[in-house]
Amino acid sequence: MAVREAAREALDAIIVGAGIAGLYQLHRLRELGLRATVIEAAGGIGGTWYWNSYPGARCDIPSMSYSYSFSPELEQEWEWTEKYPAQPEVLRYLEHVAERFDLLRDITLGSRVTAARFDETAARWTVTTDPGGDLTARFLILATGCLSVPKLPETPGLDRYRGRVHLTARWGTGKAGFDGLRVGVIGTGSSGVQVIPVIAEQAAELTVFQRTPSFCIPAGNRPLDAAEVAAMKAGYRQWREAQRTSGFGIPSDPPARSALEVSAAERDAAYQAGWERGDLTSLIGSFTDVLVSREANETAAEFVRAKIRAAVGDPGLANALSPRTYPIGTKRPCLDSGYYATFNKSHVRLVDLRATPLQEFTPAGVRTTQREHELDAIVLATGFDALTGAIAAIDIRGRDGAVLADAWRDGPRNYLGLAVAGFPNLFTVTGPLSPSVLSNMMVSIEQHVEWIAGCIAAMAAAGHRTIEATGRAQDNWVRHVAMVGAVTLFPSADSWYTGANVPGKPRVFLPYLGGVGEYRRACDRVAARGYQGFALA
């Protein structure tokens, strides 16, 4: 599809990506009277919620908190139906938002941004789209998503496999059935944990290929009842404020005690309460030190392992499903709906890839070091080149032709996770080194979008043409993010938070752990001080 012709006229901003971030950024810039256009590679809006349409896909943040807060009217009129919304419901919501705020007329679908070059004389970005050619704008805003570039298994031979291959991260809009098939699922992160129980209901045989088990907590998903929706809507403003000032974008009471200073019975009671709440943070947030002390962490990990033993009949299988190679919480925990119980079914088999690694795909299936598994369909739930993948995939050239991917060769470097030295008038929404994936993404996206819009408005008011992070501010920020991360157990785990899931990716702890509220205050302080740490010209 060609880029909309209107988009070519004197643009103020080009936004890459029509997910949650891109949609709101467009709306916000329009409110400032700016001309902005969104370029989106997919055939529809929604970003993550467009692509990850596999059976069982569901948001792990409660629906009424995982929604835009910028419009009280939208907030009141939209009716969420479940505690945790399924993918189709989130996508419907985003489509409603796009329609309600008349966003579609400035969005080009089916066109990929392949390159962007900053012209220092004109102080404008030239952006190459495919299809669509070049267009230019003063600002380039990357709303490219944290989990948008899928990572395929390194195992050779996938092209020789003759059965059906599905990628959870690129499921598409067609309905794929698995009735009567022999299905293999590779990957047991959040996507695998969600898709496995659903495929198990259809497949004749399901083989799960697990390299690293996840810690899973039952989601306790349920329909929302009218009274709780009404109560939430009545207090929405206060709730949103609490989200913004919280640690992870989800209000909670901070723990007061160490897991090591209470009795085993008290500890288990606290973990049990977290378990029953059925969310991502309650269990690991039960005590002050679960994410900073190995000894404290082990008490929470063992609590969940005991739950796995209780849920899975075969002790050997329960043991194989029990994580032991990383502290709980340092790889993304999963919320599940019947995951462990699925392994009690006689037609479901677990292959522990630590014991028998994958060797190759064959025309009939996959071969491990033990034997060949014949499969009619393979589902790859193997994750993403997270946080930096989508940015590095664009050939971005800043001042003096500097290439962003080169500048980030040893890991991402930026200021506040928002801007990169040497790349004027370029912003990243929930970029690496910001709270991003370790927060409620809605809260972090809104904060960045509003900060960026505020910055552009302030520049216009002061007559500035360019803004650019200084090298010094950037160095300090990179150091600060690493220092805060290093206080915790997070960097010790081989996870996509550290880039360890992608061979050759530099190992850097990518999200900022200073807390959503603190981080917002830091960004606001920078703005209030006339964009301290930025050079304005």
Binding to ligand NA7 in span 172-191, by CB under 6 A: 186-191
Candidate list 337, 342, 434, 501; residue touching ligand NA7; CB under 6 A: 501
| Between 128 and 221, CB nearer to ligand NA7 | 221
Distances (CA, A) of 485 to 161, 248, 323, 331, 440: 41, 14, 22, 14, 18
| Between 146 and 396, CB nearer to ligand NA7 | 146
Per CB under 6 A, which region of 3-11, 367-375, 377-385, 409-417 contacts ligand NA7? Answer: 377-385
Tokens found for residue 482 = 């690493």
Distances (CA, A) of 515 to 358, 364, 485: 39, 48, 11
Length of the chain: 537
Beta carbon of residue 152, minimum distance to ligand NA7 (angstroms, whole number): 8
Q: Binding of ligand NA7 at residue 422 (CB under 6 A)?
A: no
3-state secondary structure 84-127: CCEHHHHHHHHHHHHHHCCCHHHEECCCEEEEEEEECCCCEEEE
Name the residue among 379, 381, 377 with its Cα closest to residue 180. Answer: 377
| Between 7 and 200, CB nearer to ligand NA7 | 200
Binding to ligand NA7 in span 452-471, by CB under 6 A: none
User: ∠412-533-465 over CA atoms, to 5°?
Assistant: 95
Candidate list 199, 358, 426, 467; residue touching ligand NA7; CB under 6 A: 358
| Between 88 and 131, CB nearer to ligand NA7 | 88
Beta carbon of residue 103, minimum distance to ligand NA7 (angstroms, whole number): 25
Name the residue among 388, 537, 515 with its Cα closest to residue 447. Answer: 515
| Between 194 and 425, CB nearer to ligand NA7 | 194
Task: List CB contacts of 34: < 8 A, sequence separation 6 or more.
Answer: 12, 13, 456
| Between 185 and 407, CB nearer to ligand NA7 | 185
Ordered alpha helix ranges (H), 235-393: 236-244, 264-277, 294-311, 315-320, 339-342, 389-392
Q: Binding of ligand NA7 at residue 192 (CB under 6 A)?
A: yes
Q: Which residue has the tokens 């061979």?
A: 503
Binding to ligand NA7 in span 281-310, by CB under 6 A: none
- Pair type for strands 467-469 and 164-167: unpaired
Candidate list 12, 110, 153, 251; residue touching ligand NA7; CB under 6 A: 153
Candidate list 165, 242, 353, 536; residue touching ligand NA7; CB under 6 A: 353
Q: Is 195 exposed, middle or buried (0-12, 13-18, 19+ CB in 10 A)?
A: buried
Candidate list 116, 147, 438, 510; residue touching ligand NA7; CB under 6 A: 147
CA distance 444 to 75: 17
Q: Dihedrals φ, ψ of 269, to 5°? A: -65, -40
| Between 110 and 153, CB nearer to ligand NA7 | 153
Beta carbon of residue 148, minimum distance to ligand NA7 (angstroms, whole number): 11
Q: Is 483 exposed, middle or buried (0-12, 13-18, 19+ CB in 10 A)?
A: exposed
Candidate list 178, 496, 509, 531; residue touching ligand NA7; CB under 6 A: 496
| Between 305 and 332, CB nearer to ligand NA7 | 332
Beta carbon of residue 69, minimum distance to ligand NA7 (angstroms, whole number): 21
Per CB under 6 A, which region of 120-128, 149-157, 452-460, 504-512 contacts ligand NA7? Answer: 149-157
Q: Binding of ligand NA7 at residue 389 (CB under 6 A)?
A: no
What letter would DSSP give residue 384? B
204-243 mask for ligand NA7 (x: CB under 6 A)? -------xx-------------------------------
Candidate list 44, 329, 365, 383; residue touching ligand NA7; CB under 6 A: 383
| Between 36 and 301, CB nearer to ligand NA7 | 301
Binding to ligand NA7 in span 96-115, by CB under 6 A: none
SS3 294: helix
What letter would DSSP give residue 434? S
Tokens found for residue 395 = 């050939």
Tokens found for residue 456 = 């552009």
| Between 188 and 297, CB nearer to ligand NA7 | 188
Task: Report the C-alpha dihedral over residues 367, 373, 375, 378, rounded to 10 degrees.
Answer: -50
Beta carbon of residue 295, minimum distance to ligand NA7 (angstroms, whole number): 24
Amino acid (1-letter code) at residue 534: F
* Helix axes of 20-31 and 441-462: crossing angle, nearest 10 degrees: 30
Closest residue to ligand NA7: CB criterion:
189
If binding means CB under 6 A, how many residues of this protein chain bind ligand NA7?
A: 23
Q: Binding of ligand NA7 at residue 158 (CB under 6 A)?
A: no
Candidate list 155, 207, 330, 474; residue touching ligand NA7; CB under 6 A: 155
Task: List CB contacts of 318: < 8 A, sequence separation 6 or more.
Answer: 308, 309, 311, 312
Q: Which residues of this chain interact with ligand NA7, rule CB under 6 A?
A: 147, 153-155, 168, 186-192, 211-212, 332, 353, 358, 381-384, 496, 501
